[in-house]
């Protein structure tokens, strides 16, 4: 028969429940194991509670189901054996109003099958016992969450130290009270920390690490085992790295898996940089640039081929933070990220086609050789400005010059000021919106939040002040050219 699956709730020590003076519970049979725990409290008066148990329960009964002649047969043996087979953790028997004492045959059966038997006094209700279990469970959950949170903070701090990998291993071993080992791709022990594992456990941990080391589809990312009284766990640190985190602890506590998983994520990032060499390559490229190397000499360290530059601004009014910028770079496929005030700049190979990103407005340069990185940076800035002006999610820089680019900026601005001088700001805004919406009265009214008749009146006034026919496409083109000036 397979082992029962206990409910996914924090275990409550049976000793803690017995220590509650307000309940007055007393263990009268079964082993007195300090490590015994319960996961649930369930009340049942069924003669066979097996179908209704999940495993790990404290089963509460008043003995309503017990027949009068139960003591002379095998009733209690059958009853207790079924509870044990279902995975029940303990049995609580309530005194009064059905039974004044716990049947002696039930006490003997619980001793035989090693099931803890608790006597529940008449003053204690079953709902009171269940409430106490929930209270202890809530306390256990709070303690577990606090322990995990403190461990996460300490592991993150360790990862930022000058020796991040040994620091993370030391902190993990300290938090779990055992040993933490980092195995390399070849299975060799690269670093370790904490108390030594028993001889048999050390060899078993090496074998367990081989189980999770990537070897093809279907390879598990984590595995556990118990040997020589030691709980072992192994975690693969990335699909292509081959690094494995091994953990050996005397006893597995709630939250251990979560804490070890956080450490595995941090070590995966750290070992990933080491394994791929990308971090070293970027550092080398930076040093060469600082020492006077040209971009053409540095580019091969980062990758071959052409490049593009992406400028990005968040759609929120807040400035981008380094975490958000790194996440954006990861989404675009490049770790080469720079945060400059309100703009994030990303340099990535041209074969990685950037796509629009939720929450960001992007400007993308043309593909260039490394010697033209500075030119691409300017292009990306212009594309971002155009994207923000047109409220587009992503705009690519076009190699073909626009009509406005053919006119000197000073001449264009002087022409615009002279042409639009008769218009007040409100009329200028209305004319700009109306032209951008192709002369639609209704859409312009919605955009400006005014009545469509107001739009008609303002446009008519613009035509009168400018002394121009706004139905003429040449006039509209000239006005639009002027209205695009800052």
Name the more confident of 98 and 301: 98
Q: Which helix (H) or strand (E) holds 156?
A: helix 126-159
4 assigned to some structural domain = no
Distance separating alpha carbons of residues 354 and 375, to the nearest angstrom: 18
Last residue of a domain, one of 276, 293, 327: 276
> What mean pLDDT comes out for the span 300-329?
79
Last residue of a domain, one of 119, 135, 151: 135
Share of the chain above pLDDT 70, in %: 90
User: Tell me, what's the pLDDT at 399?
Assistant: 53
User: Tell me, what's the pLDDT at 199?
Assistant: 82
Contact (Cβ atoms closer than 8 angstroms) between residue 421 and residue 464: no
Do 75 and 131 belong together in one domain? yes
Give the pLDDT band of residue 404 (cuts 50, 70, 90). low
Of 176, 177, 171, the residue nearest 157 (C-alpha): 171
Give the pLDDT band of residue 184 (cuts 50, 70, 90). confident
User: Tell me, what's the pLDDT at 483?
Assistant: 85
Q: Among 98-102, 398-402, 477-481, where is mean pLDDT lowest?
A: 398-402
State the CATH number of the domain containing residue 127.
3.40.1390.20
pLDDT digits (tens, 9 = 90+) for 228-240: 889 999 998 865 5
402 assigned to some structural domain = no
Q: Among 125-139, 340-354, 446-460, where is mean pLDDT lowest?
A: 340-354
6 assigned to some structural domain = no
Do 343 and 446 belong together in one domain? no
Q: Among 138-142, 264-268, 332-336, 436-440, where is mean pLDDT lowest?
A: 332-336
Return the exposure string of 424-435: e unless at least 16 CB atoms fall within 10 Å of the residue's CB, then b.
eeebeebbbbbb
State the CATH number of the domain containing residue 218.
3.30.450.30
Q: How far is CA 479 from the centre of its chain?
A: 51
Do 360 and 469 belong together in one domain? no
Burial class (CB in 10 A: 0-12, 13-18, 19+), 352: middle
Domain that holds residue 77: 12-135
Do 392 and 430 belong together in one domain? no
3 assigned to some structural domain = no
Distance separating alpha carbons of residues 104 and 63, to the nearest angstrom: 13
Single pTM value for the model: 0.49
**Helices 278-290, 295-302: inter-axial angle, 10-degree rounding:** 170
Give the pLDDT band of residue 274 (cuts 50, 70, 90). very low
140 assigned to some structural domain = no
Do 128 and 164 belong together in one domain? no
108 assigned to some structural domain = yes
Distance separating alpha carbons of residues 150 and 315, to the nearest angstrom: 34
Q: Among 51-65, 270-284, 432-446, where is mean pLDDT lowest?
A: 270-284
User: Tell me, what's the pLDDT at 215?
Assistant: 65
Do 227 and 339 belong together in one domain? no
Last residue of a domain, one of 396, 430, 450: 396
Do 129 and 194 belong together in one domain? no
User: Tell me, what's the pLDDT at 323?
Assistant: 62
Do 178 and 225 belong together in one domain? yes
> What mean pLDDT comes out for the span 317-346?
79
Do 58 and 100 belong together in one domain? yes
Of 179, 312, 158, 313, the residue nearest 248 (C-alpha): 179
User: Tell me, what's the pLDDT at 132?
Assistant: 96
| Residue at token pair 């403190």 | 150
Do 354 and 422 belong together in one domain? no
The count of structural domains within the chain is: 4
> What mean pLDDT comes out for the span 4-11?
65
Q: How many C-beta atoms surround the C-beta of residue 335 within 10 A?
A: 16
213 assigned to some structural domain = yes
The helix/strand/coil state of 282 is: helix
Distance separating alpha carbons of residues 309 and 427, to the nearest angstrom: 38
State the CATH number of the domain containing residue 433.
1.10.10.2840
Do 75 and 176 belong together in one domain? no
User: Tell me, what's the pLDDT at 281?
Assistant: 67
297 assigned to some structural domain = no
Distance separating alpha carbons of residues 143 and 146, to the nearest angstrom: 5
Do 382 and 417 belong together in one domain? no
């Amino acid at each position: 028969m397979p082992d029962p699956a206990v409910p996914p709730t924090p275990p409550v020590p049976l000793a803690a429940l017995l220590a509650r003076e307000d309940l007055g519970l007393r263990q009268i049979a079964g082993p007195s194991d300090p490590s015994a725990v319960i996961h649930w409290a369930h009340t049942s008066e069924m003669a066979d509670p097996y179908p209704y148990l999940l495993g790990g329960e404290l089963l509460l009964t008043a003995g309503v189901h017990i027949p009068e002649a139960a003591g002379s047969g095998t009733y209690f043996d059958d009853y207790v054996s079924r509870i044990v087979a279902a995975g029940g953790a303990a049995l609580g028997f309530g005194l009064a109003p059905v039974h004044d004492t716990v049947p002696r045959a039930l006490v003997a059966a619980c001793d035989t099958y090693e099931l803890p038997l608790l006597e529940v006094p008449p003053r204690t209700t079953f709902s009171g016992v269940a409430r106490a279990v929930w209270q202890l469970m809530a306390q256990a959950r709070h303690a577990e969450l606090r322990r995990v949170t403190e461990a996460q903070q300490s592991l993150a701090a360790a990862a930022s130290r000058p020796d991040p990998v040994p620091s993370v291993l030391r902190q993990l071993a300290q938090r779990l009270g055992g040993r933490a080992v980092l195995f390399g791709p070849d299975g060799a022990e690269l670093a370790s920390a904490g108390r030594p594992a028993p001889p048999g456990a050390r060899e078993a941990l090496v074998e367990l690490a081989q189980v999770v080391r990537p070897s093809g589809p279907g390879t598990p990312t984590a595995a556990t085992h118990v040997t020589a009284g030691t709980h072992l766990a192994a975690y693969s640190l990335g699909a292509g790295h081959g690094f494995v985190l091994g953990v050996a602890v005397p006893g597995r506590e709630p939250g251990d898996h979560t804490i070890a998983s956080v450490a595995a994520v941090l070590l995966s990032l750290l070992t990933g940089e080491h394994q791929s060499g990308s971090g070293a390559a970027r550092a080398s490229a930076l040093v060469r640039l600082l020492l006077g190397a040209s971009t053409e000499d540095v580019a091969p360290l980062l990758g071959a081929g052409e490049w593009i530059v992406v400028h990005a601004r968040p759609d929120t009014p807040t400035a981008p933070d380094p975490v958000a910028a790194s996440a954006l770079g990861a989404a675009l496929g490049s770790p080469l990220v720079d945060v400059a005030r309100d703009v994030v700049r990303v340099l990535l190979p041209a074969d990685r086609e950037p796509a629009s990103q939720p929450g960001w407005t992007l400007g993308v340069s043309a593909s260039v050789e490394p010697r033209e990185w500075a030119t691409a940076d300017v292009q990306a800035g212009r594309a971002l400005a155009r994207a923000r002006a047109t409220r587009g999610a992503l705009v690519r820089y076009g190699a073909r010059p626009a009509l406005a680019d053919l006119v000197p900026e000073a001449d264009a601005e002087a022409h615009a000021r002279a042409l639009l001088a008769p218009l007040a700001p409100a009329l200028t805004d209305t004319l700009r919106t109306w032209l951008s919406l192709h002369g639609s009265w209704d859409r312009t009214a919605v955009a400006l939040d005014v009545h469509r008749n107001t739009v008609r009146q303002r446009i008519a006034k613009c035509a009168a002040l400018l002394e121009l026919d706004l139905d003429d496409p040449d006039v509209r083109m000239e006005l639009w050219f002027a209205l695009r000036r800052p």
